[in-house]
């Protein structure tokens, strides 16, 4: 996903055996559900495109997330890798998915992240 589209995101929970990975493409968001590391489902989510963010905007988003949803050692894991100015920019954190979904953020990047999380729980 990352090599093809220049971005890849993931979330998983310590309380389940599944996780989600997704990538922004030109025509929408491609989502894959993994169970025990194997792809079990694929779908798309329409309506959003990944904007170009600089390193400062991403660092500000990470700080805001850590302020609003502090690290939980037994929490859910979220992360991403993006192309920023021709370099790979990576983040991995441990926060509560429920906490993340309950907030509206100053960061447009985090609000877009939560938008995809809402797509994950929608039934097609």
Q: What is the pLDDT of residue 47?
A: 67
Q: What is the pLDDT of residue 121?
A: 67
Q: How far is the C-alpha of 47 from the C-alpha of 77, rounded, in Å? A: 25
Q: How far is the C-alpha of 121 from the C-alpha of 123, rounded, in Å? A: 6
| Count helices and strands in the chain by DSSP H and E runs | 4, 6
CB under 8 Å to 20, separation ≥6 — which residues?
10, 11, 12, 31, 32, 33, 34, 120
Q: What is the pLDDT of residue 124?
A: 45
**Phi, psi of 40, deg, nearest 5:** -115, -15
Q: What is the pLDDT of residue 63?
A: 93
Q: What is the pLDDT of residue 70?
A: 84
Q: Which residues of the chain have pLDDT under 70?
A: 47, 121-124
């Amino acid at each position: 996903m990352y090599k093809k589209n220049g971005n890849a995101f993931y979330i998983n929970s310590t309380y389940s055996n599944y996780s989600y990975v997704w990538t922004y493409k030109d025509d929408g968001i491609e989502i894959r559900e993994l169970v025990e590391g194997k792809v079990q489902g694929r779908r798309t989510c329409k309506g959003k495109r990944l904007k170009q963010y600089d390193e400062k905007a991403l660092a500000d988003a990470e700080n805001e997330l850590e302020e609003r949803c502090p690290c939980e050692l037994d929490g859910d894991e979220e992360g991403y890798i993006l192309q920023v100015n021709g370099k790979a920019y990576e983040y991995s954190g441990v926060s509560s998915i429920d906490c993340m979904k309950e907030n509206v953020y100053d960061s447009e990047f985090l609000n877009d992240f939560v938008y995809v999380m809402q797509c994950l729980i929608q039934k097609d």
